[in-house]
């Protein structure tokens, strides 16, 4: 079955540590995204990538880093510079929509919940 | 920047009753609008989308939405709610990338 796989589902981190969240898709989508979700704030875009070896900052990129070495993979690193990293992180992918980055139909993984101890 | 606003943070509805979730958009041209649903601890799933044409669009799980340009709205409706409809619902608009509203949490009481 085609879809998006995120791992781990739950992750605990000590302050000062970097952690990497995995995101893999087998939908052959060009565009991939990382969103952060906090209660009452909806989804906020961290980073997105339109094509391999290229990515762009979203609305809240500070303290995060990404790479896109393969079409299928878009890992997110939460660095020690992120002051409030405890959140639910969602990875998504989509087909491109002509002049738009996306057609609007995003396919989401099941999310990774990061807790800082 | 284009955006959507969901005025209701939380709605409680009885099982079998009708449901309407509000969404207002800010966009100069004809927007591409979407409704997504998120069950607790899960990712989001697309319910329906509007690109152009008929202003009443049908989606999955018995949901529909109506695009009203005069009111800049794209409200989501379901005639009879089931307990499994308890979830968080997000309205979204494409303006190069997809932007989400803050979400409306729906609680279904027996």
Q: Which residue of B has its CA nearest to A56?
A: B97
Average pLDDT rounded to a whole number, residues A66-88: 95
Put simply, whether A39 touches B (Cβ < 8 Å) is: no
Domains and CATH numbers, chain B: 3-109 (2.60.40.10)
Arithmetic mean of pLDDT, B71-94: 96
Nearest C-alpha of chain A: how many angstroms from B54? Answer: 18
Residue range A28-51: average pLDDT? Answer: 92
A13 at B interface, C-beta within 8 A:
no
φ, ψ dihedrals at B35, nearest 5°: -125, 130
CA distance B76 to B57: 10
- pLDDT band with cut points at 50, 70 and 90 for residue A101: low
Q: What is the predicted pLDDT for the residue at B27?
A: 75
Instruction: Provide the total of helices (H) and of strands (E) in chain A, helices listed first.
Output: 0, 11
Residue that wins the pLDDT comparison between A81 and A70: A70
Higher pLDDT, B94 or A102: B94
Q: Measured between alpha carbons, how far is A10 from A49 in angstroms, rounded to an integer? A: 24
Token pair listed for B23: 């969404």
Mean pLDDT computed over every residue of chain B: 93
Q: Are the CB atoms for B47 and B59 separated by under 8 Å?
A: yes
Q: Cβ contacts (< 8 Å) between A4 and chain B: which residues?
A: 43
Mean local confidence (pLDDT), B88-100: 89
Select the more confidently predicted residue: B53 or B38: B38
Interface residue B40 vs chain A (CB under 8 A) = no
How much of chain B exceeds pLDDT 70, in percent?
Answer: 98
Is pLDDT above 90 for B31?
Answer: no
Q: What is the DSSP letter of A42?
A: -
Residue A33 — pLDDT band, cuts 50, 70, 90? very high
Please give the backbone phi and psi of residue B70, each rounded to the nearest 5 degrees, phi first. Answer: -65, -25
Share of chain B above pLDDT 90, in %: 78
Does residue B4 carry a pLDDT above 70? yes
pLDDT of res. A1 = 67
Band of pLDDT at residue B106, cut at 50, 70 and 90: very high
| CB-CB under 8 Å, A113 with B97 | no
Rounded CA gap, A75 and A61, in Å? Answer: 14
- Note whether A62 contacts B: Cβ–Cβ < 8 A: no
Nearest CB to B98; choose among A40, A104, A111: A104
| Partner-chain contact B43 A92, CB within 8 Å | yes
Contacts of A102 in chain B (CB under 8 A): 94, 97-98
Residue A49 has pLDDT above 80, yes or no: yes
Quote the strand ranges of chain A, DSSP E: 4-7, 10-13, 19-25, 31-37, 43-51, 54-57, 64-66, 76-78, 87-94, 107-108, 112-116
Overall size of chain B counted in residues: 110
**Partners of residue B92 in chain A, C-beta under 8 Å:** 104
Q: How far apart are CA B67 and CA A23, in angstroms?
A: 34
Mean pLDDT of A26-48: 92
CB atoms within 10 A of CB A38: 12
Q: How far is CA A46 from the centre of its chain?
A: 7
C-beta atoms of B102 and A101 within 8 A: no
- In a 3-state reduction of DSSP, which class is residue A29? coil
**Which pLDDT score, from 0 to 100, does residue B36 have?**
97
pLDDT computed for residue A54 by the predictor: 94
Inform me whether the pLDDT recorded for A97 exceeds 70: no
């Amino acid at each position: 079955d085609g879809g998006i796989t995120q791992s781990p589902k739950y992750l605990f981190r000590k302050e000062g540590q970097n952690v990497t969240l995995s995101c893999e898709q087998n939908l052959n989508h060009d565009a991939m995204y990382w969103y952060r979700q906090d209660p009452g704030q909806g989804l906020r875009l961290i980073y997105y990538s339109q094509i391999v070896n290229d990515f762009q900052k979203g609305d809240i990129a500070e303290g995060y880093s990404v790479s896109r070495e393969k079409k299928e993979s878009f890992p997110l690193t939460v660095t020690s510079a992120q002051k409030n990293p405890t959140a639910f992180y969602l990875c998504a992918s989509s087909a491109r929509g002509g002049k738009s980055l996306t057609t609007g139909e995003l396919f989401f993984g099941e999310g990774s919940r990061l807790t800082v101890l | 920047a284009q955006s959507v606003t969901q005025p209701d943070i939380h709605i409680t509805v009885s099982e079998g009753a009708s449901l309407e979730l509000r969404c207002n958009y800010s966009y100069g041209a004809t927007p591409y609008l979407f409704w997504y649903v998120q069950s607790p601890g899960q990712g989001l799933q697309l319910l329906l989308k509007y690109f152009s044409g008929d202003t009443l669009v049908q989606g999955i799980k018995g949901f529909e939405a109506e695009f009203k340009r005069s009111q800049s709205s794209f409200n989501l409706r379901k005639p009879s709610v089931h307990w499994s409809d308890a979830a968080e619902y997000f309205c979204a608009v494409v303006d190069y990338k997809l932007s989400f509203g803050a979400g409306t949490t729906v609680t279904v009481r027996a």
